[in-house]
Structure 1
Amino acid sequence: MLRTAGCRALVSGRRFRTWSRGSERGRPREPILQPSTKRNSAGPGTLSAVGLVSLAFSFFSQDQKEQPNPEDDIILLIKKAKLSVITGKLEDADRFLHQALKLAQQTRNNQAIIYTYTQMANLAFLRGDLLNAEKLFKAAMSQMLGSGTQQDDNAVIEMSLKLCSIYASTEQHGLAVEGYKWCIETLEDKIQSQKDLPEETLSAKEKDNTRLLLGMTLDSCARYMVSRKQLDLAESLYEKALAISRQVQGETHPQTVVLMNDLATVLDMKGHHERAYDYVRRASDLARETSHPDEYVILNNLARVLMHKGRYSEAKLVYEEALKQAESKADQPVIERIREGLGELEAKTLKVQVLGEKSH
């Protein structure tokens, strides 16, 4: 990314989705990359939980002393910032993080500086301040690379991925594409080099973390390709991401279910309705079996595929079930999409009835 973006550069799409490197349950989303304005997913959606959060307090894990310790103050300020984000007090969070950064710089605590910059960038992204988020992510990466972190370190790639989403959101297509390409190629090379390393050199968990990061990158890039109407490439990327999720996380993992649904969406858009049905049917079955929190979103997609296959009666029943679930969760955007689908289905059904009457 240094060659294309001024630095080596995650949050769905749309909002970034969370893979299980500190994962929450995934959610199917519209194929558009944008900062989250509704949910704080605390995952690859916000970079802290995809790797850096798990390292955060290990940065400051030296033995505690009874006398005042600047690191204790930094930790406290970061905790206050995190609590402020959770409670929606974003201005307070920004103030606490600036205080933490000032103290980290005064004490020349490089690890604290890096982590605080990252948290400030995540916060700016959450608030939709993409220009500032970009500057802060670059500042964090500059600190990391300057302190000896390798360019293929997962934390660097995670921040590179977030920069890709910023470039995609701001329609900087060239930077977004080059960024995704760099992230994918770097991770593929890294995985290949790690493949035969013994467990005592690199644990299976660490190898899986890198594979999951590749899966997350493929997923994010696929969603961007959908938004650019490059459906063949999106299909290929989704297939690779789905294979990784199945292998590492299992068939029933929420993220695997989401990827099945998203792949079905692309296939349906390409007119491959039978293949789309196979994937979305499986996704809906798994969503029901595992009590997936966004089952109704997948049901909405299933209904649409059924409608495109001409199975109108079945589609209506599935739409109605999806609407019932969406209304119970007061998810207004999804409710509106389902109602639009029902309206389209009603029009198609009426047209078939009219044509049938004319034929007699």
Structure 2
Amino acid sequence: MATAYMKAGDFEKAEKLYKETMQKCIAAGRSTDDESVIELSIKLASLYAGTSQDDKAEAGFKYCVEVMDKAVAREGGLLEADTNTLALQGLAVQSYARFQTKKKNYEEGIKLFKKSLDIAREVYGADHPQALVVLNDLSSAYVVSKNYRLGIESYKEAVERAERKGNMEDSLVAFNYNLAQASILSQEFEAATSFCNRCLELANNLKNPSLVKAAEQCLADVKEAVDQKSKEKT
């Protein structure tokens, strides 16, 4: 229900419901570091992050990551810990990484995304959709920190793995779109056009009007960037 309130934009009701559910878990005998409580805490911290309550978000994410790091260490580390414990650790780290990147703490965000990627690959495998989502996040963090080369390399890896995995057309549209936008920023316009065209091809195959529109806008973005570059030369 709290998730429904979040989607509806009723953050006050969502926050109240998350807190009530956590209190019920604790009243039922679960500790504050129980995984069910930590999962709720991650959701609550994400709510705070999305409503500019940064101090609460920071404290929440940091607590969740610290608790899950200790839990994984107790179980023998990345290669020995229970899969569910690792998956929750990965979620906590990824969520904290997104928050740090949003706050323009790029170095810390990238470090956390790398950690989350290692966890996702251990739990799900390198070509699993969840691992590719984290790889896409890492790529985006590189790009917003203006490390275009590493961003483009990581996006390309995401595309290659998604192509190999198969049945990931929606994700491939997003990855190619992101790759195109990163190429525009690095002024690799020919490559950007190629990635936009790949987006359009995939979107047409999916018969998805909104994705087709996004791909067409991608091509328009390339043209605008090329025109702007030409004006700067004159």
Name the TM tier (shorter chain). 0.7 to 0.9
Q: Supply the distance in 1 between the matched residues of 2:95 and 2:86 (Cα, whole angstroms).
A: 14
Partner AA of 1:221 in structure 2: Y
Gaps of 5+ in 2: none
Instruction: Identify if the C-alpha distance between structure 1 residues 123 and 306 changes in structure 2 by more than 3 Å, giving closer, same or farther.
Output: closer
Q: Which residue matches 1:183?
A: 64
Are 1:139 and 2:17 matched, yes or no? no
Are 1:330 and 2:208 matched, yes or no? yes
Q: Supply the distance in 1 between the matched residues of 2:225 and 2:199 (Cα, whole angstroms).
A: 19
**Cα distance, 1:226 vs. partner?**
2.4
- Greater RCO, CA 8 A, separation 6+: 1
Deviations 1:117-145 (A, max 9, x none): xxx33333343322112112211111111
Q: Which residue matches 2:75?
A: 194
TM-score (norm 1): 0.59
Greater fraction helix: 2
Q: Which residue matches 2:176?
A: 299
Q: Give 2:39's match in structure 1, choosing from 158, 176, 192.
A: 158
Q: Supply the distance in 2 between the matched residues of 1:172 and 1:181 (Cα, whole angstroms).
A: 14
Q: In terms of Rg, which structure is larger?
A: 1
**Cα distance, 1:319 vs. partner?**
0.5
SS in 2 for 1:294: helix
Q: Supply the distance in 2 between the matched residues of 1:339 and 1:227 (Cα, whole angstroms).
A: 27
TM-score (norm 2): 0.87
Q: Which residue matches 2:2?
A: 121
Q: Which residue matches 1:348?
A: 225
Following superposition of structure 1 onto structure 2, how do residues 197-276 of structure 1 map, counting pairs within 5 Å? 207-276=82-151
- Is residue 152–residue 190 contact of structure 1 (8 Å, CA) maintained in 2? no
Q: Supply the distance in 1 between the matched residues of 2:163 and 2:102 (Cα, whole angstroms).
A: 28
Q: How many residues align?
A: 229
- Is residue 218–residue 237 contact of structure 1 (8 Å, CA) maintained in 2? yes
Q: Supply the distance in 2 between the matched residues of 1:330 and 1:165 (Cα, whole angstroms).
A: 30
Q: Which residue matches 1:174?
A: 55
Partner AA of 1:330 in structure 2: N
Q: Give aligned-pair identity as a percent.
A: 27
- Is residue 226–residue 234 contact of structure 1 (8 Å, CA) maintained in 2? yes
**Cα distance, 1:354 vs. partner?**
5.9
Deviations 1:183-229 (A, max 9, x none): 00011111112228xxxxxxx6x712111111111111222222222
CA RMSD of aligned residues (A): 2.2
